[in-house]
Amino acid sequence: MNWNIIEGKWKEMAGSIREKWGKLTDDEIQEIAGKKDKLEGILQTKYGLTQELAAQQVDEWADKIKETITK
């Protein structure tokens, strides 16, 4: 998945992000601004995930929404 596509459509992804990671606040979603490393870092903090698990969750989420955002 080309992360640049997600970054470019970040605001459109807010609903999907909230659905997947309900603990994230609107401010955090805005702060992340489509940056993969920031999303992974906040997930580590909020959910107590390891770096590897946070990266895996982000990649799985990106794969699932791939078709939605490229339409």
- Higher per-residue pLDDT: 44 or 7: 44
C-alpha–C-alpha distance, residues 17 and 7, integer Å:
13
Q: Per the structure block, which two tokens stand in for 16?
A: 């999907």
E strand residue ranges, 1-71: none
**pLDDT confidence of residue 1:** 54
Answer yes or no: pTM beyond 0.85.
yes
**pLDDT confidence of residue 45:** 97
28-32, 34-38, 48-52, 62-66: segment of lowest average pLDDT = 62-66
**pLDDT confidence of residue 70:** 60
What does the pLDDT average to over 59-70?
Answer: 82
**pLDDT confidence of residue 3:** 86
* HSE of 65, CA atoms in CB hemisphere, 13 A: 21
Domains of the chain listed by start with CATH number: 3-69 (1.10.1470.10)
DSSP three-state, residue 24: coil
